[in-house]
């Protein structure tokens, strides 16, 4: 069989009458039997199952090779088996069928001989083991009533039918046919366990030596570091068994706690409220507040011990500055709006934001000069005409352009309907009717557009 799986092999005789066969003649068709094979939950190392039937007096055995799938069940039949004495054996291989002649089986069985009788279902136990391991029998189909099974005895015979519930406590068939509990073990709930002759309410755990320890109350599992909650569960290191679970020790009075120190030892008991302020155990044991941070309300934070409405900001040296009103953050260029926000250059802190200074009266403005200093206050209307601050501080009108209505433009002071064009000298020419642009070879169509000597300006175009 496959250990931990169920392999059932049925040998079914034909329903015809047995007809004798003379020596040397093949058996008649009605004398042949059929084998039905059922495998349940095939092991992971089996891909090919080979069954051999060797009838007495036959020149060679009959063989059936079937490819199976690990983890699945399989069922198949093998026919043409003469009635009478038949010896069965089986092998299983890791690969799929057919396997190489040199392949080694992963499971093997010892030959088993039975008598095939017409019209009779004969139970057959083919015990399979891994090569070199102890053979363990399995549950093979028998003619027992539903819910019962007959196990193969050590002498090869079939035992009496019994209910499957008997496997829960039978040390010779513990959990399944052929599973024999070792000396000193008993069968409990279908598993071999150490014998336990302790009084009710007590039990004995298996020691590392393999021997059973002394009987002890089951309540000891709540506190035994070697058997915490169940036999064999050991609490390692500093942990101890508390209520059947391994935990770090804490024997402080109610409302107090003891935290583990870096040395591995537990510190003194302290009120649990200390976790709100202890920088080495902030909020929980082992949570350390680094640097200059401190533990405040169970969380690491930068210290601030100023009165309500005041604040102390961290200086570049790493020390905290003096307490100051929080309103200072509206004007402090080193802490503008928040601690550490520095206004650079000539900017200042205004209403909690860095900005260029402007202290002129309402309706006036002071623009920054090229020297970096602020110019005199002037009416904001000057931005409409100031070449150096045209429309906004710092917008400079270059060349001969001037600031007109807050935008840089070329000057033109001619009456309506007239225009003055810029001459090559850089000065403006005399005012002239805009209609002249239709015929002026030097300003043909627009100021500065010059026609060649061979061209004339006709309707504002050189031709």
| Among 224-233, 323-332, 351-360, the range of highest mean pLDDT | 323-332
- Domains, the chain, ranges and CATH? 6-141 (2.60.40), 196-249 (no CATH), 358-411 (no CATH), 419-463 (no CATH)
pLDDT for residue 23: 39
pLDDT for residue 447: 84
The answer to whether 354 and 333 have CB atoms below 8 angstroms apart is yes
Residue 393: which region, alpha, beta or left (left: phi > 0; alpha: psi -120 to 50)?
beta
pLDDT for residue 19: 29
Q: Which residues pair with 212 in a beta bridge?
A: 206
> What value does the mean pLDDT take over residues 213-226?
83
pLDDT for residue 272: 86
Q: Which residues pair with 349 in a beta bridge?
A: 354
pLDDT for residue 20: 29
pLDDT for residue 27: 58
Q: Over the stretch 55-82, which tens digit does the pLDDT of each residue have?
A: 888 888 888 888 888 878 777 777 777 7
Q: Over the stretch 157-168, which tens digit does the pLDDT of each residue have?
A: 777 888 878 877
Distance CA 239, CA 247 (A): 5
Q: How confident is the model at residue 88 (pLDDT cuts 50, 70, 90)?
A: confident
Distance CA 216, CA 446 (A): 116
Of residues 444 and 373, the one with the higher pLDDT is 444
pLDDT for residue 28: 55
Distance CA 184, CA 394 (A): 102
Q: Which residues contact 155 (CB under 8 A, 6 or more apart)?
A: none
Q: Over the stretch 92-151, which tens digit does the pLDDT of each residue have?
A: 898 889 988 888 888 888 888 887 776 665 666 666 777 765 444 444 444 677 778 878
Q: What's the chain's average pLDDT?
A: 76
Distance CA 46, CA 92 (A): 6
- The model carries a pTM of 0.28
Q: Over the stretch 403-413, which tens digit does the pLDDT of each residue have?
A: 878 877 666 66
| CB atoms closer than 10 angstroms to residue 336 | 24
Distance CA 315, CA 339 (A): 9
Question: What 3-state DSSP class applies to 128?
Answer: strand
Instruction: Say which residue the tokens 């499971």 belong to.
Output: 107
Q: Strand 256-257 and strand 270-271: pairing?
A: antiparallel
Q: How confident is the model at residue 14 (pLDDT cuts 50, 70, 90)?
A: very low
The answer to whether 33 and 10 have CB atoms below 8 angstroms apart is no
Q: How confident is the model at residue 229 (pLDDT cuts 50, 70, 90)?
A: confident
Q: Over the stretch 247-287, which tens digit does the pLDDT of each residue have?
A: 666 667 777 888 877 766 677 888 889 999 898 888 888 88
């Amino acid at each position: 069989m496959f250990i931990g799986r169920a392999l059932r092999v049925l040998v079914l005789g034909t329903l015809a009458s047995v007809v004798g066969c003379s020596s040397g003649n093949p058996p008649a068709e009605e004398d042949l039997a059929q084998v039905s094979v059922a495998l349940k939950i095939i092991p992971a190392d089996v891909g090919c199952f080979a069954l051999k039937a060797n009838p007495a007096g036959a020149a060679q055995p009959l063989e059936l090779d079937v490819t199976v799938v690990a983890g699945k069940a399989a069922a198949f039949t093998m026919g043409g088996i003469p009635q009478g004495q038949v010896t069965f054996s089986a092998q299983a291989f890791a690969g799929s069928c057919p396997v190489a002649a040199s392949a080694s089986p992963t499971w093997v069985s010892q030959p088993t001989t039975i008598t095939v009788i017409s019209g009779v279902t004969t139970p057959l136990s083919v015990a399979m083991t891994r090569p070199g391991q102890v053979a363990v029998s399995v549950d093979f189909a028998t003619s027992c009533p539903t819910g019962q099974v007959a196990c193969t005895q050590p002498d090869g015979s079939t035992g009496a039918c019994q209910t499957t519930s008997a496997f829960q406590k039978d040390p010779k068939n513990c959990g399944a046919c052929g599973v024999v509990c070792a000396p000193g073990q008993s069968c409990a709930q279908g598993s071999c366990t150490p014998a336990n002759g302790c009084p009710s309410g007590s039990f004995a755990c298996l020691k590392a030596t393999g021997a059973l320890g002394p009987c002890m109350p089951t309540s000891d599992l709540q506190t035994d570091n070697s058997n915490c909650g169940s036999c064999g569960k050991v609490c390692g290191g500093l942990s101890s068994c508390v209520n059947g679970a391994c935990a770090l020790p804490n024997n402080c009075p109610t409302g107090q706690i003891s935290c583990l120190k870096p040395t591995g030892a537990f510190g003194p008991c302290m009120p649990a409220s200390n976790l709100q302020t202890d920088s080495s155990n902030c909020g929980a044991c082992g949570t350390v507040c680094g640097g200059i941070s401190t533990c405040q309300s169970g969380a690491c934070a930068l210290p601030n011990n100023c009165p309500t409405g005041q604040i102390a900001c961290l200086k570049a040296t790493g020390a905290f500055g003096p307490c100051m009103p929080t309103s200072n953050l509206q004007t402090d260029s080193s802490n503008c709006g928040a601690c550490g926000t520095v206004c650079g250059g000539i900017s200042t802190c205004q209403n909690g934001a860095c900005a260029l200074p402007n202290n002129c009266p309402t309706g006036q403005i002071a623009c920054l000069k090229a020297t970096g200093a602020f110019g005199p206050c002037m009416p904001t209307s000057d931005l409409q005409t100031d070449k150096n601050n045209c429309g906004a501080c710092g917008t400079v009108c270059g060349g001969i352009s001037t600031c007109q209505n807050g935008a840089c433009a070329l000057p033109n002071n001619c009456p309506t309907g007239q225009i003055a064009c810029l001459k090559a000298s850089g000065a403006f020419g005399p005012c002239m009717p805009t209609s002249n642009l239709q015929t002026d070879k030097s300003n043909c169509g627009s100021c500065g557009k010059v026609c060649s000597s061979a061209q004339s300006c006709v309707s504002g175009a050189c031709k």
